[in-house]
């Protein structure tokens, strides 16, 4: 799981793809503050050459002025781009969801929930999970966005976009193992990460 790369260098991440079945990217490969995404697109392309790669957009993608261009380039990388859609992968269903009010694609959750088998959902914002998805019939939702709370005081994050100060959903497992939040692989803002290293996650699905 590689979330929140934010258009930063990624060479150190590629060796981590060795031996995995798939690379899951739950959003924010780009940097909306600089309106840049070339490194993020290159990351998807490099991962897709190594392993099946699944990408769902985050808020930094949605807020790109050239959103359509960005998503078109993402589709050309060989990665599976999941904007309110889902696909089969071995014994799993893998979907990507974003608030339908923010994207042009219709909501697919009812059809996704109706599929038989294990369902894994990429949803960038953990607050979306809390508001819209917590009661859905999905086995695991993977999120990012919160950057681990940016500064961590013990196990508590200080601030997260969308949750503000002392957020609840910033990193690790929540809701009895139904939600996994990555603290992210990059840092798009001027505030440093403290007691909160960047991360990529290795997920084993039994």
CA distances to 166, 179, 191 from 173, rounded to whole Å, are: 17, 6, 25
Closest CA to 83 of 68, 130, 91, 127: 68
Bridge partners, 164 (sequence order): 160
**pTM above threshold 0.85:** yes
Residue 19 CB neighbours (<10 A) = 8
pLDDT at 112: 98
Instruction: Measure the N-to-C terminal CA separation of the chain; round to a whole number of Å.
Output: 16
Closest CA to 29 of 74, 76, 72: 74
CA distances to 6, 25, 47, 54, 171 from 149, rounded to whole Å, are: 16, 19, 27, 25, 8
Bridge partners, 136 (sequence order): none
pLDDT at 71: 97
Q: Give, as one character, the DSSP assignment of residue 149.
A: G
Q: pLDDT tens track of the chain, all 206 residues? A: 999 999 999 999 999 998 899 999 999 999 999 999 999 999 999 999 999 999 999 999 999 999 999 999 999 999 999 999 999 999 999 999 999 999 989 999 999 999 999 999 999 999 999 899 999 999 999 999 999 999 999 999 999 988 999 999 999 999 999 999 999 999 998 888 999 999 999 999 87
Closest CA to 119 of 82, 71, 76, 145: 82
């Amino acid at each position: 799981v590689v979330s929140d790369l934010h258009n930063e260098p990624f060479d150190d991440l590629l060796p981590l793809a060795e031996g995995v079945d798939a690379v899951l990217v739950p959003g924010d490969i780009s940097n909306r503050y600089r309106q840049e995404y070339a490194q993020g697109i290159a990351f998807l392309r490099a991962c897709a050459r190594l392993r099946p790669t699944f990408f769902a957009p985050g808020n930094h993608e949605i807020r790109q002025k050239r959103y359509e261009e960005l998503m078109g380039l993402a589709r050309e990388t060989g990665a599976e781009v999941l904007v309110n859609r889902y696909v089969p992968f071995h014994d799993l269903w893998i979907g990507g969801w974003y608030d339908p009010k923010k994207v042009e694609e219709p909501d697919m959750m009812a059809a996704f929930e109706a599929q038989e088998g294990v369902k894994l959902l990429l949803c960038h914002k953990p607050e979306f999970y809390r508001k819209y998805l917590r009661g859905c019939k999905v086995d695991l939702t993977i999120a990012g966005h919160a950057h681990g709370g940016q500064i961590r005081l013990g196990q508590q994050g200080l601030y997260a976009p969308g949750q503000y100060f002392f957020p609840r959903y910033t990193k690790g497992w929540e809701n009895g193992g139904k939600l996994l939040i990555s603290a992210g692989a990059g840092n798009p803002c001027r505030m440093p990460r403290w007691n909160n290293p960047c991360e990529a996650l290795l997920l084993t699905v039994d």
